[in-house]
C-alpha cells in the first residue's frame, strides 16, 4: 500500500468533491422578519461557501434569501449582502408560509439554471443529480464545514443529508436547554429532521415533488417522500447548526413552538 502525505490526501479528497459529486450548490434561506438574526445567518453561510471554494474551487455556490412578507429591516440586511457579494440574491415573496418560501427558493434556483422542468433537466449544462440544494433558516448559524461535509457525503452517494441542530445557549434558559439535551442525542444516524440543516440532490428533490407549499412540517413531508422513494439518506451530527433558542418563532408548529411546549411543566 502506498501512503500519501496529509497534504496529498487533502488535495485528492478535494478534487473528488467535484469529480464524483456536485458541481453547483444553492443555499436557500427563508426569512420572515428576521433582522435580529439574519446578518449572523448569512455571514455563517458565506464562511461555509468560502470554505467550499478552497476545498473544491470548481464548485459554484449561490445563496437565495427568500424574504416572506417582511416588514422589518430584513430586506435591508439581505440586500447589503447581495450588493457586496454576487453569490447572494434576494427573492421577496408574500406567502406567510415557510413551506412555500422554501419551495420558491428552490424553484428560483432551478428555473434560473434551467433544471426545474424535469428530473433529468440540466442546470446550465449540469445534470440535476450534480446540483445540491442546501437549506437552513434565518435564525441559525451553519458551521464552516457545512457545505464541504454535505458534498463529501453526496460524493459518497447520499441523495439527502439530514444534519443536527442545537439551541444557542446564549438565547435559551439553562433549564430548558438541559431538557432539550436530555431528549436529543447529538450523534450519527440521529432520527431528527430540521429544515435548518438539510441538503438534497436536485434530481431526488424533483422526483419527490419538492417542498410542499404548507405552513409547517414541509421538511418532514419532503423527507418522508424521499424515504418512500428509496433515496439514499444520511443523518449526521458532523454538520451541526446552532439555532435560536427563542420560544416565540415565525413558523407555526416550528422549532420555537417545540421549545415552548418543552418548557411547560
Provide the Cα torsion 130, 227, 148, 144; round to 10°.
140
pLDDT band for position 111 (50/70/90)?
A: confident
In the chain, where are the structural domains located? 21-263
Residue with cell 459518497: 156
Q: Percentage of the chain surpassing pLDDT 90?
A: 68
Q: What pLDDT was estimated at residue 242?
A: 93
Specify the CATH class of 21-263 in words: alpha beta
Q: What is the pLDDT of residues 182-229, one digit of tens each?
A: 777 788 999 999 999 999 999 999 999 999 999 889 999 999 999 999
Query: What one-character-per-residue DSSP string does 43-111 give?
Result: HHHHHHHHHHHHH-TT-EEEEEEEEES--SSHHHHHHHHHHH-TTEEEEEE----HHHHHHHHHHHHHH
Amino acid at each position: 500500500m502506498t501512503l500519501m502525505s496529509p497534504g496529498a490526501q487533502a488535495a485528492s479528497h478535494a478534487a473528488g468533491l467535484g469529480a464524483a459529486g456536485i458541481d453547483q450548490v444553492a443555499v436557500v434561506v427563508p426569512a420572515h422578519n428576521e433582522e435580529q438574526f439574519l446578518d449572523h445567518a448569512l455571514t455563517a453561510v458565506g464562511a461555509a461557501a468560502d470554505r467550499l471554494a478552497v476545498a473544491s474551487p470548481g464548485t459554484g455556490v449561490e445563496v437565495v434569501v427568500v424574504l416572506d412578507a417582511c416588514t422589518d429591516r430584513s430586506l435591508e440586511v439581505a440586500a447589503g449582502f447581495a450588493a457586496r457579494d454576487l453569490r447572494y440574491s434576494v427573492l421577496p415573496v408574500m406567502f406567510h408560509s415557510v413551506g412555500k418560501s422554501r419551495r420558491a427558493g428552490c424553484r428560483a434556483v432551478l428555473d434560473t439554471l434551467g433544471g426545474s422542468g424535469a428530473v433529468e433537466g440540466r442546470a446550465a449544462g449540469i445534470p440535476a443529480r450534480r446540483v445540491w440544494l442546501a437549506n437552513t433558516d434565518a435564525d441559525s448559524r451553519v458551521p464552516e464545514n457545512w457545505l464541504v461535509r454535505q458534498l463529501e457525503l453526496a460524493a459518497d452517494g447520499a441523495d439527502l443529508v439530514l444534519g443536527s441542530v442545537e439551541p444557542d445557549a446564549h438565547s435559551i434558559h439553562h433549564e430548558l436547554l438541559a431538557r432539550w439535551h436530555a431528549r436529543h442525542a447529538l450523534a450519527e444516524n440521529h432520527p431528527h429532521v430540521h429544515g435548518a440543516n438539510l441538503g438534497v440532490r436536485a434530481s431526488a428533490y424533483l422526483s419527490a415533488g419538492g417542498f410542499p407549499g404548507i405552513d409547517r412540517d414541509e421538511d418532514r413531508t419532503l423527507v418522508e417522500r424521499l424515504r418512500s422513494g428509496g433515496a439514499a439518506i444520511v443523518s449526521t451530527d458532523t454538520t451541526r447548526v446552532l439555532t435560536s433558542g427563542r420560544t416565540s418563532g415565525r413558523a407555526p408548529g416550528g422549532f420555537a413552538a417545540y421549545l415552548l411546549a418543552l418548557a411547560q411543566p
